[in-house]
């Protein structure tokens, strides 16, 4: 058995490079990145329109008992929200912080804190504060 060589010399096998950077692949990468960023932007805008404004109340933390007649309500919301405490409009600073003082009556006081955005989406937190007047012990008037 004889081996015969053909007229053409043998060529080495070409390796296909999958990670070869070409201008076409760079343009495709930039286009896909652009589509992802545009999609993310629209997702954030839609969520902003659909969701109620965030509302956090740091004081009072939960339902509590108080001994002072005036009580401070402190918290944070979206700066563009309209905030009310017991249906009274409250000022919000540019970071969204708010602080107001309310008067308590004896017994259970229900405090309704409501943040509303311009699309009438609301977020409400209700706190119950029990106000107990402190009993003062009369002092015996005796100065020495």
- pLDDT (tens place) for every residue of the chain, 144 residues total: 666 656 666 666 666 666 788 888 899 999 999 999 999 999 988 887 778 888 999 888 787 888 888 889 999 998 888 999 998 999 999 999 999 998 888 888 899 999 998 888 899 999 998 888 776 665 565 554
What pLDDT sits at residue 113? 92
- Enumerate the domain spans of the chain: 21-50, 55-131
Q: Cβ neighbours of residue 136 under 8 Å, at least 6 residues apart?
A: none
Which CATH code fits 55-131? 2.60.40.10
What pLDDT sits at residue 5? 59
What pLDDT sits at residue 38? 96
Quickly list H helices, the chain: 23-50
CA distances from 33 to 23, 42, 63, 90 (A): 15, 14, 49, 43
Cα dihedral 62, 66, 68, 70, rounded to 10, equals: 30
pTM of the model: 0.62
What pLDDT sits at residue 60? 83
What pLDDT sits at residue 137? 61
């Amino acid at each position: 058995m004889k081996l015969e060589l053909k007229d053409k010399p043998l060529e080495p096998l070409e390796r296909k490079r999958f990670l070869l950077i070409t201008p076409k692949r760079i343009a495709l990468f930039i286009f896909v990145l652009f589509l992802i960023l545009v999609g993310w932007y629209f997702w954030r805008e839609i969520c902003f329109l659909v969701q109620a404004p965030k509302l956090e109340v740091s004081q009072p933390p939960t339902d509590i008992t108080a001994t002072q007649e005036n009580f401070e309500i402190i918290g944070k919301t979206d700066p563009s929200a309209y905030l009310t405490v017991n249906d009274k409009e409250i000022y919000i600073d540019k970071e969204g912080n708010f602080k107001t003082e309310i008067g308590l009556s004896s017994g259970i006081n229900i405090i309704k804190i409501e943040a509303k955005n311009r699309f009438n989406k609301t977020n409400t937190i209700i706190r119950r504060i029990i106000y107990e007047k402190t009993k003062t012990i009369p002092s015996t008037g005796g100065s020495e």
